Chains A and B, each alone.
Chain A
Amino acid sequence: MATEPFDVIIVGSGAAGGTAAYVLTSLGARVCLLEAGRYYEPGRETPMFQRHGAAPLADAGTPDKPFGFYDATVDGGWVLPEEPYTTAPGTEFRWFRARMLGGRTNHWGRVALRYANHDFKAYSLDGLGADWPFTYEEFAPWYDRAERMVGVFGTNEHLPDIPDSPPGCLQPPPVPRSYERLVIAGGRRLGRPVVASHEAVITQPLNGRLACFYASPCLRGCAIRANFQSPTVMLAPASASGRLTTITHAQVYEVDLAPDGLVRGVHYVDRLTREHHYLAGRAVMLGASAMESVRILFNSRSARFPDGIGSASGLLGRGVLSTPGSNVWGRFPQMEGLPPFNDDGVVSLPHIFIPWWLLPEQRAGRLPFARGYHIELYGGRTEPSAYTFDQFNVVSPLTYGKRLKEEARRYYGSFVRFSQRGEMVMRDSNRVVIDPQMKDAWGIPGLCFDVRWSGQELRQTAHAQRSMVEFIEAAGGQVVSPPPSDPRQAITAPGRMIHEVGGARAGADPRKSVTDSYGRVWGVPNLYVIDGAVFPSSANKNPTLTIIAFAWRASEHLRKYLRKELPHA
């Protein structure tokens, strides 16, 4: 365990902070990791074989545990009484938090897709949003490192929207489930790709971790470490290095800027004792989650940065991004009344997905929206739960008695949810600010969100709804409820997909961004933002793998910086 003064203070222990802790300790730095939530140990705490029926309310979601009793979220949820936030009039934003070691990596859906070069350079291609300050080729080595450490299954399909990985990065995917085979056949009929998903679950042993044994839902966490969670994959080796100190219940609220222009520590409040503490370090990395990192920057005011560190360009808090999402349910008569068989696979994660297939048409200007989406699939013969009968009520609303039991047997496992995951176009008008009135339970000023979908996201969603209907019908299914004519009724609220990023974007020009390409806040060379806050755009690909790769790259950069420019470190 390292002691003060630390080389690096890392705020947050999720995808970004966990990766930085691992990389920096492995490179010899002495690190202090601050986590707002409690210590959490998946090996000891994961309810691997508890059945839905053994949980209160059969594991149905509640305000205490929105994704069910067993979900790997501690002291989190959509609404945290101690940590309120506000939204601008007429807007909605759903902000999911987890207060635990590893943050939201514990609950994560684990879709792990690489951004392609057109994702990093989308502004150059269509003039919307902003470019990333590097190309795919420049960034790809860190995707390689991330995939090798995280453990990702998937295949190289040579598709325009999904870059191939070098040999040795991806593990073999599991074979498709029954309903997934119907969708693959449907895709073939439509001439559209349906390929193996990329998921952060290992199907072969990796770095001492056991391979998946295809039982127990991943969203509860994994006691055998077959899926990626920051505590088991990143923090365990960081801790074993002897160079990591972890402080839990530490809510960081301010970065301390010294007169020489460098940061020298952070202020935090112990959430249990309410005592305030100061911790000194030679460099600080913020990985508190995109919106929390932006909030810390805003709340770090000084003569030099009266509106918060990083506010010089006026862009701090601007360009908040979410993922447009919508669903269409299909029912598949071929799946009705099948004999019992085990179709669990990697429980609760899709084995396949539908990548964005219209990139050439979009680039040629033949679509009424600028950015793409992919489609994920959930359903089939999962363990009967509080949600098994949600669609059943639509197809068999008034049955009872023996007929009800017959229909329960018949329809069980025959429903599949098709789910759009799209790219939102970045706009500066979508932003967070510090709410002038509202403070959290520890007296720290909180955030106000002003995030709205534009016609871009609505037209994309209308297209996705139609596409999902086409896929359902091509796969031999029927749509359970037809899509609404107004996509506003189909699209989920901003934030609901739990992919919120942006607000402190990285860029090549200090006037047009908050950090440089390594996440270093412009003008403050030892303060890094390493989480989703740095995203100038958010592709249709779930952000976690890119957060991990970015944090890895930033950590290597910081290690070099500490050696060169702070030789005493």
Chain B
Amino acid sequence: MADKLSGVGVSTGVGYGPALRLTRAVPEPPADARHDGDADAEARRAFAAAEEVARDLTDRGERAGGEAREVLAAQALMARDPALADDIKRRIGEGAAAARAVSDAMAVYREMLAGAGDYLSGRVADLDDVRDRIVARLLGVPVPGIPQSTSPFVLVAEDLAPADTAMLDPERVLAFVTREGGPTSHTAILARSLGLPAVVACAGADQITDGTMLLVDGASGDVLSGPDPTQAEAARAAAAARAAAAAESTGPGRTRDGHTVPLLANIGGPQDLPAALENGAEGVGLYRTEFLFLDRADAPGHEEQVAAYRAVLEAFPGGKVVVRTLDSGADKPLAFLPPAAAEPNPALGERGLRMMRRHPEMLKSQLAALAEAQRDTDADLWVMAPMVTDVDDAAWFAAAAGEAGIEHAGIMIEVPAAALRARHLAEAADFFSIGTNDLTQYTCAADREVGGLGRFQDPWQPAVLELVAAAAKAAAAAERSCGVCGEAAADPVLACVLTGLGVTTLSMGATALPLVRAALARTTLAQCREAAQGALAARGNEDAKRIARQALPGLAELGL
């Protein structure tokens, strides 16, 4: 019987092979380790080891190039840090052995970094790596690193440091599994750039022993140890077939019988454009503008905003770009837009458009910057407001956008009240875009961030599908477009169902585009509609998924 571990899938694909652990088990120097009395000689020994580590890190960086070179150069600076050196010298002067002095001095800075913001806490792994390398040299034990193997393996680690992976041979690695880390960890970024499956934040990964056969699914985050070999091989082959079919799918989104469904990308800023273009996005369906506003003391100025919007509009000449106005609130607080009062339940508080109605000047400046950015480009700019609840909200936003000279002003459908009354909201809004993540959270009254509510956080819940259908139907009656820009659009089976429900565009993280394009191309509009009706009639989320899949036989070719 296979054991299943679950983590967060951060790089899609399926890998199957034996586990090999990255050992960073450098023994901790004993707490009372003391030197033999010659403090100067001991300090020289410590600095020599630190200097050797700094040189080694610099060399590795030079050989690896690119981003790794910068990270490793910063680590070399840590090894040579004069403030750290003073502290090490002082500790040795008090009698501590070199390895102990290095370890204790590093601990002071480690605590400081771990306690600071998100960015700095990500550097803790870098600092730990420097410490382990220096201590290993001083103790005369092997320097930690990637295990050597002549055959391919699944790399299992606590977390990966840039120095570990700079020299990694991607041909030898089938997948990564780490106990720590998140979607922005070094492991995740590296895995995506190498196209290797990866699961991070995997509790229990530290219990995996070398040689255990692992089946790693970088999409679902599941890690099976000791699976049935035939099944594991089938899962790997299906994933490979899926990747191959997805890679072959090109051109605009359309069903097999030619019903077009424009496939758009969700982006968080100009840095996401290369991936969107590479995966064949026909435009942008959701441009989250928060990145311009977060982590700063003042609101961004007009010129800065214009530049950020223009960069995206210029990437899609003639294409559609849907921009969502600032979505902030108690869960995404901004220094210059504090919430009016403490909110015990921020998901139900003053966020999105509600916040903008309190600070209309902020919205006005954003709309003015958007209007100016559009003037010099050929892109088709659409602007929408988040967290719209009723007709008054929709009309208020449409008036503000019209005043700024925005041609297409629409709304997001995330609140069940808005979906239920979509026929009235369509009178004030030029278009709808359904945010399925929040719509699911509000429909099922299940906080997105709470673990253990998985069944209710599933957009396959027939109640959610029914609200999507209501919004799409109202949009069609008013001759408005109705897109979906949530995780639901990235699920190729659900994408077909949404199309059958009358959704007109699908927007998703760029890497999901090829598979959704391939799924639509293997399905007719009639089949999508049949799948949609079947899912709507289902009693539960699992049933809805099963019934819909049966109505979509073409998806078998994709191993779905």
- A and B are interacting partners: no
Residues of B within 8 A of A (CB): none
